[in-house]
Amino acid sequence: MSDSVRHITEQIEKYLMNFSLKKKLRIFYIVCVIFPLMLTDGFILHSVFTAGRAQQQHDMENLASALQYYVIGTFEQAAATADTLNLSSYIENFLEKRYETPLDYVTEYQEFMNQSFLGSSINSGDVRVTIYADNNTLVNGGRFGTIDKIRDTTWYQTLKQDDRDAVLLFYYDDWQSPAVAPKRKILFLRKMNFAARRGCEKVIKLEINYSKVIRDIDKMNYELPVFICKDGKVLLSNTKDNYLGQDFSEFTMQKNIGYVKDISLYGDTYQIYVLRQKDAVWKQLAKNVPLLFFLIFINTLLPFFLMTLIERSVTVRIAQLGKVFDSVDSEKLIEIKNVQGDDEISQLMHNYNRMADRTNGLIQTVYKDKLREREMSLAKKNAELLALHVQINPHFLFNALESIRMHSILKEEFETADMVERLAIMERQNVDWGNDDIPISREMDFVEAYLGLQKYRFGDRLSYSVSVEPD
């Protein structure tokens, strides 16, 4: 370990020593549980979102491909029907024949429709076939008509001006119906020009059931909105809103485009737009809310609950130890009752009880016995002093000393009388030995008496002076 790392470690240890054990456990829980959990959960959520977006992108691609196969299959079926009619020489002869009267045409028409193969090809439930020819002897109605009838229509003009033999057309049919709402139609138009036949102009119009196409798309149960557009115009959609025929670029939902696929049909390019679902990942997460709450409980609440129990099992007993250690200043150490557990703290508490029991025994043996011995010795001395004090009658002593002093005065032995007086003063002070508070004046009288007696003993060898402040 390098010096810098060791220094940092020591600083952290020193810093943590100032915290309580409860706070240390909380720091441990936050650093070692909550913080790693936030990192791992953040990574998991990011992975879930990434996987969700990838899955959504994959679903959008599959949806676009499925819709492409359906559209191509639907229109290829119409194209196959048109090709079959284009190759039929019987139909071509029927259309080019000149009929004398309308009755002749109706007779030929009924015979033509009785043909099983041609009749089934023209009369399909999903596709309505109509063939037009530049033959004025034809009677308009049924599955045939004249070019003059459709010459001014938009779809005929579109096919006429196009160089292609087949055209797929989405448009509103508002021809000759100003008072009626125009109908949206899907037309597959085909010029009958197989092998550059001679004769009159002939056109095949296959009207695909638009409502069935919409229903089929709805039956696919796509959860995401899809639009089929051409030149920026909406042609097909599975949404309930009426966006058909409008400019796709004008929709506010355009910003939600998740996938675009181009398809080519008969020389035209179409776009399949798949819109991503708003908050799809969040909705997926919402479905798993019980699981998320369970994970939160397992990862956060349960560790916190267990950590709290561990913390209480440690801090409560340490606080109990601290409380009994506060009793070291008393005469007897308090023992810990009802020690629970068998961990290191419990062993420490048991050891403390043994130490307290031993210490209390030593205190009882050494301290209290010694104190009792001193008390007994002091009581004995007090008794002896009291007995001695009782044996000495202060009044008798003072009366005797006063008699000696008066006798000395009568004989004019003044020095002896003065010495006896001083001795009486000292003895009277000794008699009052039990008083703790003595006035300074009396204490000075005692000093004067004692020094006076010593002066008689030592003579000129002793000299003294007493000075006391007035206050």
Q: What is the pLDDT of residues 77-102, one digit of tens each?
A: 888 888 888 888 888 888 888 888 88
Look at the chain and count its residues: 471
* Structure confidence at residue 114 as a pLDDT band (50, 70, 90): confident
pLDDT at 292: 67
Most confident of 201-205, 209-213, 294-298, 381-385: 201-205
Spatial separation of the C-alpha atoms in residues 429 and 443, rounded to whole Å: 8
* Structure confidence at residue 289 as a pLDDT band (50, 70, 90): low
pLDDT at 50: 76
Q: Which residues fall within 8 angstroms of residue 78, CB to CB, at 6 or more apart?
A: 127, 188, 206, 208
Spatial separation of the C-alpha atoms in residues 189 and 79, rounded to whole Å: 9
Decide which of 351 and 124 is more confident: 351
| Cβ-contact 421, 405 below 8 angstroms | yes
Decide which of 418 and 19 is more confident: 418
* Structure confidence at residue 178 as a pLDDT band (50, 70, 90): very low
- Is the pLDDT reported for residue 352 higher than 80? no
- Residue 141: DSSP 8-state: B
Least confident of 129-133, 190-194, 336-340: 336-340
Q: Residue range 31-36: average pLDDT?
A: 75
Query: Can you spell out the DSSP letters for 396-456?
Result: HHHHHHHHHHHHHHHTT-HHHHHHHHHHHHHHHHHHTTT-S---HHHHHHHHHHHHHHHHH
Q: Residue range 338-358: average pLDDT?
A: 75
Decide which of 143 and 310 is more confident: 143
Spatial separation of the C-alpha atoms in residues 414 and 422, rounded to whole Å: 12
Decide which of 126 and 154 is more confident: 154
Q: What is the pTM of this model?
A: 0.54
pLDDT at 124: 56
* Structure confidence at residue 253 as a pLDDT band (50, 70, 90): low
- Is the pLDDT reported for residue 444 higher than 50? yes
Strand residue runs (E) in 96-165: 127-133, 144-146
Six token digits for residue 76: 């290829």
Q: Give the distance from CA 429 to its chain's centroid.
A: 90
- Residue 247: DSSP 8-state: B
Least confident of 281-295, 300-314, 331-345: 281-295
- Is the pLDDT reported for residue 324 higher than 60? yes
Strands 257-265, 268-275: pairing is antiparallel
Angle between helices 35-86 and 210-219 (to 10 degrees): 150
- Is the pLDDT reported for residue 182 higher than 60? no
pLDDT at 246: 73
